[in-house]
Structure 1
Amino acid sequence: MGAAGGRGARGALWGVLWGALCAGLGGAQGPGGTHEPPAHALAEVLFCQPATPSLGLTLTFDADQLFWFDFPRARWTPRLPDLPPWPPALEPPDQLLRDATFCQNLRRAITAMATGILPEAKGIPLADIFPVQPPTLGDATTLVCMVSNIFPPAVEIGWQVDGVPVTRDVTHTHYTPTGDLAFVRFSYLRVTPNAGDVYACVVTREADNSSIITYWVPPNPNPDEVLETALCGAATALGVLLALLGVAMSWAARRSTHG
């Protein structure tokens, strides 16, 4: 049984059910007090809450999401397209839907008992923007907005370019649980950065009508690169000028000889 928090008069208590398939996040102590390398962890996490999304189920390996369960379609979906499909015989959808119903019923029962007694559990989201690879002005790249410390998992992530909201070329991931009983979510924006552009990732929590905005601007060209480009341009122009001067002098010399 995982974490739970109260929401006062509204009774919006939410619960998280943790199912650890393979534990061992810390290093084990071997004979003679020696520490063995830490084991890997495969975890399956089901959460339910009054907010949207009301249900969530993910399978993670060392905090990296492998699969998430699509409740409307009752099927597992791989986080990356290269992952193999989920084995149909392992945890059939009917069983997972029963677990989700149990989670919702348990949440309602605990809400009725804990409203006005337990304080609300809430995390303040933290957002960070970074490009997938070092950006170059005029070349297409992908910006990543990583939103961490999400609790409960109910935030909206939007993008703005120069203060104007954009929805094209935007993709979002589903919530991934972390070891501190919070969640992380990623949003991606495909862009072609230009000098002077201002990109913003807006994280909104509708429950308390609050937003967090993080900005990113393309880095200015390296002064050495600018100087090198200017010198190359000047050298090219000088070469063209000398070539033209040479042609003019050659033409003048021929004309003088013929005269």
Structure 2
Amino acid sequence: MPFRALVCTTPSSDPERRVQKISLVLVLNLLPARSVGRPQFHGTGTKPLAHLLSRVLFCQPDRPSRGLADTFDGDLLFSFDFPGSRWEPRLPDFQPWLGDQESPEQIRNDSSTCQDLLHLLTNLTQGKLPEARGTPMASVFTAQPLELGKPNTLICQVGNLFPASATVSWQRLGEAVSQGVSTTRYYPTEDLGFLLFSYLQFTPQEGDVYTCTVTQPPGNLSAVAYWVPQYPVPSELLETVLCGVGIALGIFFLVTGVVLLLKSRRPSPTD
């Protein structure tokens, strides 16, 4: 079987950061990662910096055929949109740092090199090495505490992806849902797999059953995760309870203030 992916990582030029430094990572022949950075002294021993900044470029026969991502401690910072030839921040707050990224021309050159190496290694190992493929693992949870009738977001986390190629779909009570759905780009994890998130904007109702289905080429069902409301707090009940608690606290502080005021005005025994 051919190699499913070739992953390349590049170190940061900043020696203050602990950086994953791998020249080439093959599917079944991983070179050990080395870290660089200024050590911190704690008594008689040393402790390396606890943060990891990594840039990973991958290319593969499956779609997407290539990808590039910057991560910090496993969280996605930036990704490169190859069709649009531009960097994209994971969050709007990261926008000011986009100017420090590699130029699109350099990235295209790197990705071309990656694809050339992939074709070469595939030809060399055809029929000699087994195919490497991970079994996706999916889980579904809400972004905010569950309240019936209040808008929320369902998050489907898909891990252990290798290669970085999968399709995520949503269903409610067995019916396909497409509105309010958005999906992140693939980004790498420390074990050289990939992670993917899919978001669904929804308003939870009693009796809901949502399904997140993950499929991988060539269309085989890989993973299914279900979500049902568990011990939800109805929004009207929650508002009533909070209102009652607020009124009770207001009465308590009012009575306490009156008592303290009366005590302050009472003449002392020495007067």
Q: TM-score range by the shorter chain?
A: 0.7 to 0.9
Amino acid in structure 2 at the alignment position of 1:179: E
CA contact (8 A) 2:89 2:98 kept: no
Q: Give the 3 Å change call, closer, same or farther, for CA 24–57 of structure 1 in structure 2.
A: closer
Aligned to 2:139: 128
Aligned to 2:255: none
Q: 1:77 aligns with which of 66, 74, 88?
A: 88
* Mapped partners of 2:178, 2:112: distance in 1: 34
Please give the TM-score of this superposition, normalised by the length of structure 1: 0.76
Aligned to 1:144: 155
What is the deviation of 1:34?
A: 3.1
Please give the TM-score of this superposition, normalised by the length of structure 2: 0.73
Aligned pairs for 1:1-259 (under 5 A) are 8=1, 11=2, 13-21=4-12, 22-23=17-18, 30=41, 33-36=44-47, 38-88=49-99, 90-207=101-218, 209-221=220-232
What is the deviation of 1:210?
A: 2.5
Q: Give the 3 Å change call, closer, same or farther, for CA 90–170 of structure 1 in structure 2.
A: closer
* Mapped partners of 1:74, 1:221: distance in 2: 44
* Mapped partners of 1:221, 1:68: distance in 2: 36
* Mapped partners of 2:131, 2:65: distance in 1: 18
Q: Percent identity?
A: 46
What is the deviation of 1:90?
A: 4.1
Deviations 1:133-169 (A, max 9, x none): 1110111100110111111100111111111111100
What is the deviation of 1:42?
A: 1.2
Q: Give the 3 Å change call, closer, same or farther, for CA 115–140 of structure 1 in structure 2.
A: same
CA contact (8 A) 2:140 2:212 kept: yes
Aligned to 1:250: none
Runs (5+) with no aligned partner, structure 1: 1-7, 230-259
Deviations 1:183-236 (A, max 9, x none): 1110100111111100111000123622311000012347xx98xx9xxxxxxx
Deviations 1:91-124 (A, max 9, x none): 2110110000000010000000011111111111
* Mapped partners of 1:208, 1:158: distance in 2: 13
What is the deviation of 1:14?
A: 1.9
CA contact (8 A) 1:144 1:188 kept: yes
Amino acid in structure 2 at the alignment position of 1:110: L
Aligned to 2:28: none
Q: Give the 3 Å change call, closer, same or farther, for CA 145–115 of structure 1 in structure 2.
A: same
Q: Give the 3 Å change call, closer, same or farther, for CA 120–29 of structure 1 in structure 2.
A: farther
Q: Report SS of the residue matched to 1:13.
A: coil
- How many residue pairs get aligned? The number is 217
CA contact (8 A) 2:40 2:49 kept: no
